[in-house]
């Protein structure tokens, strides 16, 4: 039986090591390529979103008068759907962009007239050309004309150039003594009224006396009739009898 040399297995292992290294290198290179492709696939859609390039009014601009419209310029033409432009102004004023139009890469919205002066924040929302929604904000300020503040100092009354001249009493005016003298003595009308009142009082008193007499006489007759009804044989002293 031939003897086996111990150096043969060692030589075969040494020959296999370069092949294993080459395979490991290929696997590492393939993994790196796959990783790079995955990164590109993920970053591709994100970088494809449209971006806002400029606006009118510009972000942070200061205007002398309120703008009539707002325009937004993007890197690509956005979709003409789902577009919203909302303004938030001073004292809680809110407004929306109306009549929104998309021309090429520019989105234009009309603003309401008569918006007050102050700081405005604009929030916009559009749909990118790749179908993904994007949004952002910008701001501008409308200075306008400031109304003058009312003066707090009291205004001094204007003095008349002509002094008031004292009025002299007229010759026809009656003096207090004359007016007092005109009231002395009783007038005929006063005497007539007083006499009428006195006569009415006397008439009333006379009627009261007559009525009292009638009442007393009726009481006596009633008492006499009651006494006669109780004792028919006794003559009535209060009545006059003829013999």
Q: How far apart are CA 233 and CA 192, in angstroms?
A: 61
Tell me if 239 is assigned to some domain.
no
Asked if 104 and 149 touch (Cβ cutoff 8 Å), the reply is no
Look at residue 33 in the predicted model and tell me its pLDDT.
Answer: 60
The Cβ of residue 111 has, within 10 Å, a number of other Cβ atoms equal to: 20
Are 86 and 94 contacting, i.e. CB atoms less than 8 angstroms apart?
Answer: yes
The span from the CA of 113 to the CA of 108, in Å, is 16
Domain closes at, from 126, 142, 158: 142
The residue written with tokens 């050309």 in the block is: 129
This model's pTM is above 0.75: no
Residue 61 structural domain: 52-142
In a domain, 156, yes or no: no
Q: What is the model's pLDDT at position 230?
A: 74
Q: Do the domain assignments include residue 160?
A: no
Which pLDDT belongs to residue 228? 77
Q: Which pLDDT belongs to residue 36?
A: 63
How many independent structural domains does the chain possess? 2
Distances in whole angstroms, Cα of residue 136 to Cα of each of 8, 84, 183, 189: 74, 11, 98, 101
Q: Check residue 243 and give its pLDDT.
A: 44
Q: Is residue 65 part of a domain?
A: yes
Please report whether residue 100 resides in a domain: yes
What pLDDT score was predicted for residue 17?
59
> Is 71 a member of any domain?
yes
Amino acid 139: pLDDT: 96
Block means of pLDDT (10 residues each) for the chain, 243 residues, are: 51 56 66 60 57 95 94 94 94 91 95 92 94 94 69 56 54 49 52 79 84 85 80 54 44
* Residues in a beta bridge with 62: 141
Query: Is position 105 within any domain?
Result: yes
Task: Specify if 184 maps to a domain.
Answer: no
Same structural domain for residues 59 and 123? Answer: yes
């Amino acid at each position: 039986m031939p003897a086996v040399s111990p150096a043969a297995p060692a030589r075969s292992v040494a020959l296999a090591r370069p092949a294993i290294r080459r395979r490991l290198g290929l696997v590492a290179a393939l993994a790196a390529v796959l990783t790079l492709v995955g990164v590109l696939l993920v970053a591709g859609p994100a970088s494809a979103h449209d971006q806002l390039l400029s606006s009118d009014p510009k972000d942070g601009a200061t205007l002398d008068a309120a703008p009539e419209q707002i325009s937004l310029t993007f890197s690509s033409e956005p979709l003409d759907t789902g577009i919203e432009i909302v303004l938030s102004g001073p004292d809680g004023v809110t407004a929306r962009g109306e009549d929104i139009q998309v021309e090429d890469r520019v989105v234009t919205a009309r603003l309401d007239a008569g918006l007050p002066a102050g700081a405005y924040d604009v929030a916009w929302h559009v749909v990118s050309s790749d179908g993904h929604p994007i949004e952002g904000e910008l701001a501008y300020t409308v200075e306008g004309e400031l109304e003058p503040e009312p003066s707090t100092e009291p205004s001094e009354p204007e003095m008349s150039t002509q002094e008031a001249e004292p009025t002299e009493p007229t010759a026809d005016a009656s003096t207090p003594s004359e007016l007092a003298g005109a009231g002395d003595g009783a007038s005929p009308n006063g005497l007539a009224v007083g006499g009428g009142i006195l006569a009415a009082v006397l008439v009333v008193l006379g009627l009261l006396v007559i009525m009292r007499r009638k009442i007393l006489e009726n009481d006596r007759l009633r008492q006499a009739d009651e006494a006669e009804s109780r004792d028919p044989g006794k003559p009535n002293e209060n009545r006059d009898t003829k013999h």
